[in-house]
Amino acid sequence: MQSQSPVSSQAISLWFNEAEEARVGGRLDTAQALLDRIIVHDSAHAGALYSRGLVALALDQLPLAQRWIERAVEVEPQPPFFGMLCLIQVKLRAFASIVQTARAGLAHQPDSLALHYYLGVALQLQGRAEEAAVAYRRLIELKPDYAQAHANLGVVVRDLGSLSGAEQHLRQAMTLDPSNLGARASFSQVLLAAGRYEEAWPYFEDRWANFVDANGQPASERPQLPLPQWKGERADVVSGAHGVPERGARLLVLPEQGHGDSLQFVRYLPLALERFAQVGYICPPSLRRVYEESLCARWPGIVMLDDAMPNVKEWDWQCPLMSLPLAFGTRLATIPAAAYLGANPRRSAEWLVRLDALSQPDLPRVGVVWAGGHSGLSEDRARSLTSAQLAPLFSQSHVRWISLQKTDDLAKRPNASAKAYLTDWMDQVSDFADTAAIIDNLDLVISVDTSVAHLAAAMGKPVWLLNRFAGCWRWLRNRDDSPWYPTVRIFTQSQRGNWDEVIERVTAQLMQRYEPGRAYRSFVR
């Protein structure tokens, strides 16, 4: 077989310059052909290998881009190569690989700002908060005015339990970069967790900056509609502005975030109806029946709209759902906390028949949820358990355990051991109205911080919330009760990640509430 003819280094240099000019100019096919020619003749040309990775990245060929740049690093471990490899691995969500890459790069350039930043982000997204804090602190030592490092460290410090430390870093981030909306959104959650609602709600208006989807990608932007946002204007202003006819002004409420957020904040729709002739809510399909049966049936001026943008000409004002607390000037003492959701009586009665048909019908009926949704997010990993971790609870045979766990993630389904203790009909549940009908027949719900906990609490059912260390802002800090839901009792981790002691406390309280061997009239309406 004939070997490749030798090519001079001058020719290779010329090809490389042409390839770079083509790549920068967006002529990727030309750049790729030239780079491939170089690599055929010089497989150890680090620059060509790196540029070949950049071409693959520009073509959104992420795994291929990673392989090319890994080859470049093997040949010549330049710090910029490590930085670009980290960026590609961020796009691939290969967080463990980012940690490895960043640390390898820092061995060659210990003061690299980019590599320290990638290291901190990767550790943070893996839930390794203590290590992420070390990375961000080192980054701030190198560049004290690094606004995003302060913003990220503020979030990490919050997750480690220090609201004061988080506030300090987030204020610094906003001072260094007043346009950093993500820092403002994170700062709002620190204030909310501290119960400082009056200060918090204006910052909370920038929450969209931090929204991510199940894959951790930016999820949405603040909705832009040709309607004024209602921020609590008086009734005469609402009705007299913008040429509103005598029929009265109508408010369009926009959905956002998850089901739990919707369930918590729809409590404001009846209050909004006191200011408007009609209130429409763009409703997620799985929540529509329970809202229509609970809210629309009681307040006919509230209407549920399809999960798509309606004709804005039919509305006079708009307000995102989670901006309603700002409009009403909500403080801890003024949260509208009365029960506002319920189950359809006919549907509830159907489930009661099925429950009464089980053996030992006098056992107390306790619903249970051990995992949330969005499995790819670090927050979900922190708040969720496995069914195996609830074994001490399930061993309490004097309780009828009713599964309320709904998930498409096979890893979150009950294991074989848990199934032996559970009555599980959730495969027959189509939406939250069905779930509400089951909950209506239960004595207690024990749940992690997920939508079912909100549903049961909004119905006025006793709820024991299994809460992660330094959990969501809505549960505040250092409290075992909730001003949002009078029937909620909170069991918070005393140590980050330690669910065992939480389950021990819940088990002890359950035995105290339902003594073994004692007969109970299951479920009191």
Strands (DSSP E) found in 154-313: 250-254, 278-282, 302-305
Confidence bin at 1 (pLDDT 50/70/90): very low
- Judgement on whether residues 162 and 283 belong to the same structural domain of the protein: no
- Judgement on whether residues 379 and 505 belong to the same structural domain of the protein: yes
Environment class of 70 (CB within 10 Å of its CB; exposed 0-12, middle 13-18, buried 19+): middle
**pLDDT one-digit tens code per residue, 20-49:** 999 999 999 999 999 999 999 999 999 999
Stretch among 197-206, 327-336, 349-358, 515-524 having the lowest mean pLDDT: 515-524
Residue 153 lies in a domain: yes
- Judgement on whether residues 391 and 471 belong to the same structural domain of the protein: yes
- Judgement on whether residues 481 and 403 belong to the same structural domain of the protein: yes
CA neighbor of 288 nearest in space, from 300, 308, 303: 303
Q: For the chain, first and last CA: distance in Å?
A: 87
- Judgement on whether residues 367 and 496 belong to the same structural domain of the protein: yes
The total domain count for the chain is 3
CA neighbor of 497 nearest in space, from 388, 375, 382, 386: 382
For the segment 450-466, the average pLDDT, to the nearest whole number, is 98
Quote the pLDDT of residue 243: 54
Q: What's the angle, vertex CA 252, arms to CA 251 and CA 258, rounded to 5?
A: 135
What CATH number is given to the structural domain containing 202? 1.25.40.10
Quote the pLDDT of residue 33: 96
> In terms of DSSP bridges, do strands 317-320 and 444-448 run parallel, antiparallel, or are they unpaired?
unpaired
Taking the C-alpha atoms of residue 437 and residue 355, their distance in angstroms, rounded to an integer, is 12
Q: If residue 509 lies in a helix (H) or strand (E), which one and from where to where?
A: helix 500-513
The residues near 385 (Cβ < 8 Å, ≥ 6 apart) are 370, 371, 448, 466, 499
Taking the C-alpha atoms of residue 286 and residue 430, their distance in angstroms, rounded to an integer, is 8
CA neighbor of 455 nearest in space, from 320, 298, 280, 290: 290
For the segment 506-511, the average pLDDT, to the nearest whole number, is 95
The 8-class DSSP code of residue 110 comes to: T
Confidence bin at 246 (pLDDT 50/70/90): low
What CATH number is given to the structural domain containing 470? 3.40.50.2000
Residue 129 lies in a domain: no
Quote the pLDDT of residue 2: 44
For the segment 108-114, the average pLDDT, to the nearest whole number, is 96
- Judgement on whether residues 383 and 474 belong to the same structural domain of the protein: yes
Cβ atoms of residues 264 and 339 within 8 Å: no
Higher pLDDT among residues 309 and 277, named by residue:
277
For the segment 348-364, the average pLDDT, to the nearest whole number, is 95
- Judgement on whether residues 325 and 353 belong to the same structural domain of the protein: no
Domain range for 318 is 235-334
Write down how long the chain is: 525
Asked if pLDDT for residue 518 goes beyond 90, the answer is no
Higher pLDDT among residues 158 and 520, named by residue:
158
- Judgement on whether residues 303 and 351 belong to the same structural domain of the protein: no
Confidence bin at 3 (pLDDT 50/70/90): very low
Residue 258 lies in a domain: yes
Environment class of 425 (CB within 10 Å of its CB; exposed 0-12, middle 13-18, buried 19+): middle
Among the candidates 313, 334, 355, a domain finishes at: 334
CA neighbor of 34 nearest in space, from 56, 12, 50: 12
Stretch among 9-13, 100-104, 117-121, 190-194 having the lowest mean pLDDT: 9-13
Stretch among 163-167, 186-190, 247-251, 486-490 having the lowest mean pLDDT: 247-251
Among the candidates 193, 209, 225, a domain finishes at: 209
Burial 49-69 (b: 16+ CB within 10 A, else e): bbbbbbbbbeeeeeebbbbbb
Asked if pLDDT for residue 503 goes beyond 70, the answer is yes
Taking the C-alpha atoms of residue 208 and residue 220, their distance in angstroms, rounded to an integer, is 6
Stretch among 203-217, 400-414, 428-442 having the lowest mean pLDDT: 203-217
CA neighbor of 70 nearest in space, from 59, 278, 57, 60: 57
**pLDDT one-digit tens code per residue, 428-446:** 999 999 999 999 999 999 9
Distances (CA, A) of 294 to 270, 301, 308: 11, 13, 22
Residue 361 lies in a domain: yes
pTM for the predicted model, two decimal places: 0.90
Asked if pLDDT for residue 205 goes beyond 50, the answer is yes
Asked if pLDDT for residue 226 goes beyond 60, the answer is yes
The rounded mean pLDDT for the chain is 93
